[in-house]
Structure 1
Amino acid sequence: MFDWEAAWHAALYGPGGFFARGEKPFSHFRTSPLVGPELAAALVELLSRVDAALGFPPVVDFVDVGAGGGELAFAVRSLASGSLGARLRVTAVELGPPVPLPGVRWTSSIPACTGLLVGHEWLDSIPCPVVTGPSSDPWIARWWPSLADGAQAEVGASRDAAWAAAVASVRGAALAIDYGHLVSSRRFTLTGYREGRQVPPVFDGSCDITAHVALDACAAAAGGEHVLVSQRDALAALGLSASVGGSGWDWLESAARAGRIAELRDPGGLGGFGWLLHGCSVAVADLLPSLPPWRPNPASFSPA
């Protein structure tokens, strides 16, 4: 029987694997940190709220799990200012080769965090077993009960465990940002990306291999107070608005910024990402206002 999880892991992280050899996301697919500095600005705002809720500790952490080329970590380090910037410690967690960046330390394992931990498109890169229905797997019984005979499904238990362990390392808040699905709308999504194109997943290390995240299962595994909202709504709640004004160069700058924010908040694209936010000794209500619950857009991120 083909071992999907082992083949997937070897293709990404084994000798000669896609990430192990230093491939970076920007070379293969569009992702929010590459749109511009606006996502990082929103996360700095969220971090400042976490910092205040913690009582302004002497050192406040921003931990970027699955950091890729470190774009998000470096942008947060660059945008943080004042007292927050002076106390900020930025850590990029990545299994591939580190990219030297001023003010960013690199590690291959998740450290203890007093502040904000973010897994941006990290969980979707954790390999999973793949089963064909009917299946007696207990995770499938709970989280994919609608699996039809002959249909395939990714078993998300490894992602649940990884997220629960990450959340347990945090005092402050932990945020997973990913594309995903809910128990009411599960679908098989295993796919590949290579050089900007979605391709069939092959396990030879030539492409990124990814699948949607069962964010509701991850939330239950980590437990505690949490919310699951859309990126579209979360960014608005953190102050990102796509207004255009001024004249001349100021107008051009504001128009460009508005275009980037519109891309980040597009409900049919990046705005459809789920934001799973856990409060860890911090009340979620102190970080985000009450927002509509996330509902995945079935037209978004269709598998090949």
Structure 2
Amino acid sequence: MHTPDTPDVPDTEWRSWEEAARAALYGPDGFYRRPEGPAGHFRTSVHASPLFAAAVARLLCRIDDALGRPGALDFVDMAAGRGELAAGVLGALPSDVAARARVRCVELADRPAGLDPRIAWSARPPEEVTGLLFANEWLDNVPVEVAEVDAAGVARRVLVRHDGAERLGEPVDGARARWLARWWPLPSEPGARAEIGLPRDTAWADTVARMRRGVAVAADYAHTAGARPPFGTLTGFRQGRQTAPVPDGSCDLTAHVALDACAAAAPSGGRLLSQREALRALGVSGARPAAALAATDPAGYVRALARAGEAAELTAPGGLGDFGWLVQPVGTADPFGG
């Protein structure tokens, strides 16, 4: 809801989208403090199928081999929700790898009851990581400023009220203007919008800096230079449905990630894959089982068919398969062979 002129509303009620979203998501009464957890509102790859956690476990084993099987192998699950991915990865590891694994969930919400006691829980990642740090749909929830072009062709900060009403503020300047110029140049047409991903670049660079040896992966809704959406991607999710983004703590607030900018911010470099490419390289193909199996093992055929359906969802064009994976090795080879 864009309301450019609202003189009757005190200026103190208007905040930048970055500030408003941070409070709405992570404040004392924020969305991510709610007891139902993210799975109560939206479906991620982790929730779609255990095949996802099994593939991440295979990736961790691949990294373990490349590192020479260290005595302690870290798996860090960023923005862990209720620990579903960490638990799935730990359960899918071979026993000898699981015995050496140090599994940690990084999440602001409280540790859920019943989580495997072998899984550590903290609000911040460890200072040093040897192994795999995996951030599934974390960066899209790192709050960012929103910019919009006004009638004079000037990019201005978008200010928002608690009820979701918006108005334009001062022109974008400084480091944020430089980020826009490099990563998301806006046309002069009024109404063009962008999300300024500088806080995400910083968050990712700081996280990758904790890697001693191993690989950091960010899997997220993404876009790259040359294919930026003309009006931005900021939106909300509530109870499985997309909704208007309102920064009152009642819904998730998310925007797609400029993963190419994040990659450039980390000194180790990195490369981008689609989730389809990454999961297929890890053995998740979505291929249907041979029809002959139905005659010799009907129950096995049904199970294989179900797994194929789940794999197809994880790799589907136009869906989860189009997610971006930013893969950043540190002190080891690219596990995808690039």
Same fold (TM over 0.5): yes
Query: Per the alignment, in what secondary structure is the counterpart of residue 19 of structure 1?
Result: helix
Query: Per the alignment, in what secondary structure is the counterpart of residue 127 of structure 1?
Result: coil
Which letter does structure 1 place at the counterpart of 2:102? R
1:141 is aligned to 2:181: yes
Unaligned stretches of 5+ residues in structure 1: 291-304
Which letter does structure 2 place at the counterpart of 1:97? D
1:289 is aligned to 2:333: no
Seen in structure 2, the aligned counterparts of structure 1 residues 252 and 148 have a Cα distance that, compared at 3 Å, is farther
Matched with 1:123 is: 139
Matched with 1:32 is: 45
1:107 is aligned to 2:122: yes
- Supply the distance in 1 between the matched residues of 2:265 and 2:35 (Cα, whole angstroms): 31
- Supply the distance in 2 between the matched residues of 1:8 and 1:71 (Cα, whole angstroms): 25
- Supply the distance in 2 between the matched residues of 1:29 and 1:38 (Cα, whole angstroms): 18
Match of 2:92 among 70, 79, 84: 79
Question: What percentage of residue pairs aligned between the two structures are identical?
Answer: 49
1:168 is aligned to 2:209: yes
Match of 2:285 among 221, 224, 241: 241
**1:223 Cα offset (Å):** 3.0
1:214 is aligned to 2:274: no
- Supply the distance in 1 between the matched residues of 2:33 and 2:136 (Cα, whole angstroms): 18
Match of 1:11 among 24, 35, 44: 24
**1:226 Cα offset (Å):** 1.6
Task: For 1:82-101, list aligned pairs within 5 A.
Answer: 82-100=95-113, 101=115
Match of 1:271 among 304, 321, 326: 321
TM-score using structure 1 length: 0.91
**1:168 Cα offset (Å):** 0.8
Match of 1:251 among 301, 325, 330: 301
**1:55 Cα offset (Å):** 1.0
Seen in structure 2, the aligned counterparts of structure 1 residues 212 and 104 have a Cα distance that, compared at 3 Å, is same
**Do the aligned residues in 1 keep the contact of 2:272 with 2:327 (CA within 8 Å)?**
yes
Matched with 2:167 is: none
Regions of 4+ moved over 2 Å: 20-23, 133-136, 146-150
**Do the aligned residues in 2 keep the contact of 1:94 with 1:106 (CA within 8 Å)?**
yes
**Do the aligned residues in 1 keep the contact of 2:32 with 2:38 (CA within 8 Å)?**
no
- Supply the distance in 1 between the matched residues of 2:22 and 2:36 (Cα, whole angstroms): 15
- Supply the distance in 2 between the matched residues of 1:201 and 1:240 (Cα, whole angstroms): 34
Which letter does structure 1 place at the counterpart of 2:337? P
TM-score using structure 2 length: 0.82
- Supply the distance in 2 between the matched residues of 1:49 and 1:225 (Cα, whole angstroms): 20
Match of 2:273 among 211, 229, 253: 229
Which letter does structure 2 place at the counterpart of 1:98? R
Task: For 1:50-69, list aligned pairs within 5 A.
Answer: 50-69=63-82
> Over residues 205-250 of structure 1, what are the superposed CA-to-partner deviations in whole Å (9 max), with x where a residue is unaligned?
0000000000000000013242201000111111112241432110
- Supply the distance in 2 between the matched residues of 1:51 and 1:147 (Cα, whole angstroms): 46
Query: Per the alignment, in what secondary structure is the counterpart of residue 282 of structure 1?
Result: coil
Matched with 1:301 is: none
Matched with 2:11 is: none
Matched with 1:262 is: 312
- Supply the distance in 2 between the matched residues of 1:20 and 1:129 (Cα, whole angstroms): 22
- Supply the distance in 2 between the matched residues of 1:272 and 1:31 (Cα, whole angstroms): 13
Matched with 2:9 is: none
- Supply the distance in 2 between the matched residues of 1:52 and 1:44 (Cα, whole angstroms): 13
- The farther-off stretch of 236-245 and 11-20 is 236-245
Q: CA RMSD in A?
A: 1.3
- Give the structure with higher Rg (CA): 2
**1:23 Cα offset (Å):** 4.3
1:189 is aligned to 2:230: no
